[in-house]
Chains A and B, each alone.
Chain A
Amino acid sequence: MNTILIRKFFYGDIPDETGGGELPQTPSKEAGKEWPLWEVLIRSKQGLDHKHAGSLHAADAKMAIENARDVYTRRMEGVSIWVVESKYIHATNPDESGELFEPAEDKIYRHPTFYELPDEVNKM
C-alpha cells in the first residue's frame, strides 16, 4: 500500500556477520575480579547534608566519583559527591532493632511538647 514511500533500514543494530553469536567459550569473568561496590552520597545543594543516592561498581575512588557524576547528577541533582567502598560501612542488625531503638519510645519527656507551660511563656 503506502509502504513504498518508506525507506527502511533492515540491517538492525549489528549486522549478523559481525555479531558473533557463539556463546563465550570460557567464562568471561575471573573470580573475584569484579570491581568493588561503592556507596554514593550526594549533596543536592549548598547548605544540605550529603544523602545516600545509590551504589555502583568502580575500580577505584576516582572512577566511582566519575561514574556517580554520570549516573546520579545528570539533571543537576548535586553539587558535591562522596563515595565510600560499601565494605567499610557498618550497620545495625534489624534483628536487634528492638533492643536498640525501643528504649527511646517511652521517654516522651525528651520532647518539648511534654511540658505544659502557661500561655504567656508557651512560645518558649
Chain B
Amino acid sequence: MVYLLWKDLTACEWITGSQRVLTGVSFLTFDINYRNMVFQDFENKFQDKIDNEIKIEPKDWMPESYRKTNLRQISQHAHSEVVGMLPEGNWIGRAPSLKRKAILLAKVQDEAGHGLYLYSAAETLGMSREEMTDDLHSGKAKYSSIFNYPTLTWADIGAIGWLVDGAAIMNQVMLTRTSYGPYARAMVRICKEESFHQRQGFESLLVLSKGTKEQRTMCQDAINRWWWPALMMFGPQDSESQHSEQSMKWKIKRKSNDELRQNFIDMIAEQIKTLGMKLPDPDLKWNEERKHYDFGEINWDAFWQVVKGNGPCNKQRLDARRKAHEEGQWIREAAMAYAEKKMKQNNY
C-alpha cells in the first residue's frame, strides 16, 4: 500500500509498509528508484490528461516547470492589461467627443478588469498579488512591449483598438482552450469583452478615414507607427522562441508565434482596404501559392531593445505604475484598518 502526501508538489513524500524492513543502502536505492518511478508516473498521467483535453485545475499535480511557465505567462499577461491602461488613459481627457470619451473610459475599465481576472488565475498557482506587483515594479516581471510606445495623436487610440487589440485577440482566442483551467476561464471572459475593443477602434479609424485631409493623414500616420510593433506582439520567430516547444506539448499554447502572426496579417491586409489606407510594408503581397500574404522583414533588433527596457516609454510606464501603487498605499492600509475595527465592534 502506498500513501502519497502532497505537501510539496516538486517532491512526493511517501511511505510504504514494506520499506520499513529494508535497511541501509538498499533502502536508499529503493527510495530513489521508487521516487523516480512515482514521479515519472505522475508526469505520464499529467501528460495523458493534457493529451485527452482534460483541464488542469489548481490543486492537481503538475510538473514544477508547468506551474512556473503558466505563472510567468499569466502574470505577464495581467501586467500587460494593467500597464495597457496607461497609453489609452492618456487620451480620456482629450477624446474628441462625449461619446468617444465614454467608449474609451469603458474600454480602459475593461482592461483593469482583465488584469484582475488574470491576477486571480495566477494567484491559484501559489504566488501572492503583492509579489506579482512587486515583480512588475522592480522590473523583474515583463509586460507586453507594445505598451512602451507613446500615443501621439487621437488616431492612435483607434489604431490600438484595431491593431493592438486585434493582435491580442488572435492570441487570446487560442488561449481560451489553454490547458490550465483558471487561465482558460479568464480568457473566455476576456474574449467576450475584447471584441468591442477592436470594433470601436476600427470604427473610430473609419470615421477618420472619411474625414478631412488632416484626419486621413493622422489615420495613416497612426497605422504606420503601430503596424510593426503590433506584429512584434506575437513574439520572436518560432526558430528563436525559447518556450514554444514545451508550451505546445503542454497545450499552454496551441499555435506558434509565426502561425498567429500570419493569421493576423492575412486578416488586417484585407480589413485595411475598407479604410482606404495602406500598411507600411512594401513587401506585403498576396501569395497565391501559400494562400497567405507575404510580408517584409521585422526589425527584431528594435524589438529586443524595447524588451530590454530601451523603448520610448518604458521608464514612464513603470514610473506611473509605481507612483500609483505608492500613492494608494495609505488608502489600502486605511481600508484594512477600518475593516478590522468593524470586525472588533461586531465581535467577530
Contacts and interface: CB of A to CB of B under 8 A. Distances in A.
Given A75-B193, A95-B6, A29 B134 contact: yes
Contacts of B123: 37, 55
Interface in B174-204: 185-186, 189, 193
B120 A55 contact: yes
A35 B338 CA distance: 12
B134 A30 contact: no
B60 A94 contact: yes
A113 interface: no
Contacts of A56: 116, 120
Contacts of A5: 213-214, 217-218
A34 interface: yes
Contact of A34 (B120, B128, B338): B128
A20 interface: yes
A56 B120 CA distance: 7
Contacts of A91: 59
Contacts of A49: none
Contact of B322 (A16, A24, A35): A24
A106 B348 CA distance: 46
Contacts of B313: 12-13
B57 A54 contact: no
B223 to A, nearest CB: 13
- The A contact surface, by secondary structure, is loop
A34 B110 CA distance: 23
B217 A19 contact: no
Nearest to B110: A74
A75 B217 CA distance: 35
Interface residues of B, number: 57
B221 interface: yes
A47 B128 CA distance: 36
B120 A27 contact: no
B213 A9 contact: no
A107 interface: no
A35 B323 contact: no
B59 A13 contact: no
Interface string B238-272: 00000000000000000000000000000000000
B174 to A, nearest CB: 21
Interface in A25-64: 27-30, 33-35, 37, 54-57, 59-60, 63
Interface string B38-66: 00000000000000000001011100000
A21 interface: yes
B278 interface: no
B323 A19 contact: yes
A111 interface: no
Interface string A1-16: 0110111111011101
B103 to A, nearest CB: 13
Q: Which of A7, A63, A71, A94 has the most CB of B within 10 A?
A: A71
19 contacts: A6-B152, A12-B313, A14-B320, A16-B316, A19-B316, A20-B319, A21-B315, A23-B138, A28-B134, A28-B325, A29-B134, A35-B336, A54-B116, A56-B116, A59-B336, A60-B342, A70-B109, A71-B116, A94-B57
Interface of B: 4, 6, 57, 59-61, 86-87, 89-90, 94, 106, 109-110, 113, 116-117, 120, 123, 128-130, 134, 137-138, 150, 152-153, 185-186, 189, 193, 213-214, 217-218, 220-221, 313, 315-317, 319-320, 322-323, 325-326, 329, 332-333, 335-336, 338-339, 342-343
Given A9-B153, A74-B106, 8 more contacts: A9-B152, A14-B316, A16-B315, A24-B322, A35-B336, A59-B336, A60-B339, A71-B116
